[in-house]
């Protein structure tokens, strides 16, 4: 597991200054991950396109853009956020799924490149923008993921165009005089074995041979980071070497030697740069189980509840002379559901009210999936700059925010 970028003194100072719960991001780690991805492929035309659903904070996006990384959007809102964060239209790729006419029209009006992932969606797009450029999302029939909920290719997912329907897709493209400029895929989320990505690249490149003259081929994302103790980091050096071998073989037989290869990481860039801080409000024994009650409800971090995901936790002790003993406890939140568990049956130091729980590897799909469920307030977000300065990059919700869009 990655070392913490905050010490106990900083943790308590940040909670005192910005309140609890609180997301905190480290800019140095974010930039380091961006540069690792940028260097994944150096031999060919290669572009990194950050899937912003992992973390949409505008200040995070500005840093990612500053590192020369483009962006994937999955909705009209994400396209809007990107443009508002300084991204130009030609730096955004709209990877649609079950898109509405208004979603397509927004991308068309703003000259944003569009991917369609169903034959019927190509028809919808073609009616709106005859003669335009388009790419299509292919489902190669295989996928992977840390949960079945994030497997985004294969026979049991809603994404992409199965190979058997490619001829039909090409007929629709021809019908509306569209220009096919690229193909893309996404197999799933959170792989730590580089071989899965290499095999996925081989699959999409084999399909790409059917389409001469493509401007780009998007290999997909899903790059994982270690969440559990003992998990090895993704071997980026070996991945780079083997992936470039595969690309070299493809280029040798393809008509466009300058075709652009694209990858779309989300989690890999932001997961490890973020932690979530929360306060212990209650310690209680219920029959044989001990619960540590915090303000980290699943409205703040839903991954453990939704996916059964593991996050390591660190306890910042307010009383430095507290017992060094350890015990089995469950860290729980303040939402009115029994499934509201951050960390179940963990061996941790004895925890007291007023201590701070730090949830590690929380920069991806943390705040971006947060909500106001139970009319809880979404937390603030803070960025630690390279010089150590902490900067507020999103204010905490106010009670008034809960009713600002209602008609009273």
For residue 397, which of 405, 385, 389, 386 has the smallest C-alpha distance?
A: 405
Rounded-to-integer distance, Cα 111 and Cα 98, Å: 20
Place of tokens 């779309």: 264
Helix, strand or coil for residue 307? helix
Burial class of residue 338, CB neighbours in 10 A (0-12, 13-18, 19+): exposed
Pick the catalytic residue: 116, 273, 282, 336?
Answer: 336
The pairing of beta strand 113-116 with beta strand 133-139: parallel
* CB 279, CB 300: distance < 8 Å: no
Burial class of residue 187, CB neighbours in 10 A (0-12, 13-18, 19+): buried
Alpha-carbon distance values, 346 to 76, 293, 303, 341, 376 (Å): 41, 14, 17, 11, 26
Rounded-to-integer distance, Cα 362 and Cα 145, Å: 18
* CB 94, CB 129: distance < 8 Å: no
Active site residue 116: no
Active site residues: 336
């Amino acid at each position: 597991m990655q070392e913490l970028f905050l010490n106990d003194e900083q943790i308590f100072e940040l909670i005192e200054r910005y309140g609890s719960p609180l997301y905190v991001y480290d800019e140095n780690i974010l930039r380091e991950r961006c540069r690792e991805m940028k260097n994944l492929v150096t031999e060919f035309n290669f572009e990194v396109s950050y899937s912003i659903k992992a973390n949409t904070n505008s200040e995070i996006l500005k840093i990612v853009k500053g590192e020369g990384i483009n962006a994937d959007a999955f909705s009209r809102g994400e396209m809007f956020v990107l443009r508002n964060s300084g991204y130009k239209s030609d730096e955004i790729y709209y990877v649609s799924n079950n898109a509405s006419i208004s979603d397509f029209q927004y991308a068309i009006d703003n000259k944003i490149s569009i991917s369609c992932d169903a034959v019927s969606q190509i028809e919808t797009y073609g009616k709106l923008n005859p003669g335009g450029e388009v790419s299509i999302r292919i489902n190669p029939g295989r996928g992977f993921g840390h949960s079945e909920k994030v497997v985004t290719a294969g026979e049991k997912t809603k994404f992409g165009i199965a190979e058997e329907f490619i001829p039909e897709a090409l007929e629709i493209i021809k019908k509306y005089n569209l220009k096919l400029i690229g193909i893309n895929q996404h197999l799933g989320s959170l792989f730590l074995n580089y071989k899965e990505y290499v095999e996925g690249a081989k699959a999409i490149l084999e399909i790409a041979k059917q389409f001469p003259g493509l401007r780009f081929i998007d290999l997909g994302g899903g790059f994982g980071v270690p969440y559990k103790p003992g998990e090895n980091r993704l071997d980026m050096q070996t991945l780079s070497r083997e992936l470039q071998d595969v690309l070299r073989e493809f280029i040798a037989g393809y008509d466009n030697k300058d075709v652009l290869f694209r990858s779309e990481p989300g989690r890999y860039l932001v997961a490890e740069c973020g932690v979530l801080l929360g306060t212990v409000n209650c310690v209680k024994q219920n029959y044989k189980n001990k619960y540590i009650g915090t303000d980290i409800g699943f409205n703040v971090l839903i991954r453990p509840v939704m996916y059964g995901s593991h996050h390591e936790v660190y306890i910042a002790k307010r009383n430095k002379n507290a017992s060094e003993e350890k015990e089995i406890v469950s860290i729980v939140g303040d939402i009115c559901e029994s499934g509201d568990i951050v960390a179940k049956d963990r061996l941790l130091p004895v925890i007291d009210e007023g201590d701070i729980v730090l949830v590690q590897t929380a920069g991806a799909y943390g705040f971006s999936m947060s909500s106001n469920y139970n009319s809880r307030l979404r937390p603030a977000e803070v960025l630690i700059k390279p010089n150590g300065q902490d900067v507020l990059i999103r204010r905490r919700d106010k009670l008034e925010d809960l009713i600002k869009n209602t008609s009273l």
